[in-house]
Amino acid sequence: MAEAMYMRIAADLRAKIKAGKLKPGGQLPPEQALQEDYGELFGLASVSRNTVRDAIELLVRERQVEKRPGQGTFILKQEEPFLTTLSGNAEGGENLTYLAAAARRGQEAYNTIPRVEIHSSSRAPELRLGDDEQVLSRHQQRFIDGKPHSMQTSYYPYGYAAKAPRLLQAGDIEEGAVAYIAEEVGVKQAGWREELQVRTANSQERDFFDLSAKSGAQVIEAFRTAFDGDGNPIRLTVTVYAADRNRLAYEAGVVPPEVVSAAAAGGLPDNATRAPG
């Protein structure tokens, strides 16, 4: 099945942006000019205005370009995606792992002071608590070079707070919550399960990440449920990333160091190739 014409136009414009032929801050040609240019490319008198508009809307959703009312369509600066290796982070991100990753890239990262709240158990059904029980949550916003990076909320059974009171304090737990709970409560993490979903950003997320409300901007939401040795859930961590500036990775077994370091820098070593598809 032949690829739709608007997708072919979008692919050509995308390639020109990547090659630097259309530079960040520059303006796309007017719709009529694009109709004529791509009509000539495809052996037609012109392509329809709707086809050109569909191509542009696709690039808007990808955050390649943005429309400015009364001015035109402008090319956006493409930020290098930030790579987070989820499989190497037992704390689910609520520690120094991503701070160290930012430092390796010469970037400055920081977290906001955790906001602590109490909820009914229905807020975190993954913890499998009774209807009359409560959960406590610790919410942080994370920034890299002053720009929003992610939002993270971790949920714990409220009963842990009796032996681990620092869970209720609006401050960092330097050794990490998993280690702190193991030491004070005697509940040790034996494993965890991660579930990812991609969805349209809600209004709060659009505001935090500065995403266009009209672009159908996407976020990646990671749900990590941790379990003790008896299979009981002990913690739920929900992390939300803006899809346009993040890459998530998992590793298993022995991974060559040069592949890990190259991936963190945004590519692969010269002798490595990506699998198709």
What pLDDT digit, counting tens, does each position of 219-244 carry?
999 999 999 999 999 999 999 999 88
Report whether 218 contacts 240 (CB < 8 A): no
H or E element in which residue 207 lies: helix 203-209
Q: Mean of the pLDDT values across residues 129-155?
A: 94
Residue 248 pLDDT > 60 = yes
- Domains and their CATH numbers in the chain: 5-75 (1.10.10.10), 82-264 (3.40.1410.10)
Task: State how far the Cα of 17 lies from the Cα of 24, in Å rounded to an integer.
Answer: 8
Report whether 249 contacts 85 (CB < 8 A): yes
pLDDT, averaged across the chain:
86
Nearest to 73 by CA among 55, 56, 90, 52: 56
Residue 1 pLDDT > 60 = no
Q: Which of 33-37, 42-46, 179-183 is predicted with the least confidence, judged by mean pLDDT?
A: 42-46
Give the pLDDT band (50/70/90) at residue 89. Answer: low
**Bridge partners, 219 (sequence order):** 199, 242
- Give me the pLDDT at residue 262, please: 58
Task: State how far the Cα of 47 lies from the Cα of 1, in Å rounded to an integer.
Answer: 20
Three-class secondary structure of residue 128 per DSSP: coil
User: With a threshold of 0.85, does the pTM exceed it?
Assistant: no
Residue 88 pLDDT > 80 = no
Range picked from 82-86, 234-238, 272-276 for highest mean pLDDT: 234-238
**Bridge partners, 197 (sequence order):** 221
DSSP 53: H
